[in-house]
Amino acid sequence: MAHISRRGTPTETFGDLPAVGTKAPGFTLTGHDLADVTQDEWSGRRLVLNIFSSIDTDNTVLHTQLVDDTSHEPDYDAAIAVL
C-alpha cells in the first residue's frame, strides 16, 4: 500500500503504486474506431495512461485537461485517457 494525499488529506492505496519508469504490463484498449489497441503499438515510446472510473464526475474535466496538457509535453510521445 502507498501513502498518498487527495486534496491535502492523507490516504492509502489498496496496492502498491508502480515506480516511475516501470514498464506497463500487457494491455488491450479499444480505440476511437472501436479497434483493439495494444501496448505493442507504443513499444519504445513514453506513454501516459490516465485512467478514470466514470465520465459523470467532477474530475472528468480535470482528467481530460491533464491528458491534453501532457500530450503536448516534450517528455512524452503520447497520452491516452482510459475510462
Q: Which CATH superfamily is domain 3-82 in?
A: Glutaredoxin (3.40.30.10)
15's CB contacts (< 8 A; 6+ apart) are 1, 2
Could you tell me the CA-to-CA distances from 76 to 4, 18, 46, 55, 83 in Å, in that order? Answer: 24, 18, 5, 24, 20
For residue 45, is pLDDT > 60? Answer: yes
Bridge partners (DSSP) of residue 11 are: 4
Domain assignments of the chain as residue spans, ordered by start: 3-82
Average pLDDT (39-52) is 76
1's CB contacts (< 8 A; 6+ apart) are 12, 13, 14, 15, 16
**pTM assigned to the model:** 0.49
**Confidence band for 39, pLDDT divided at 50, 70 and 90:** confident
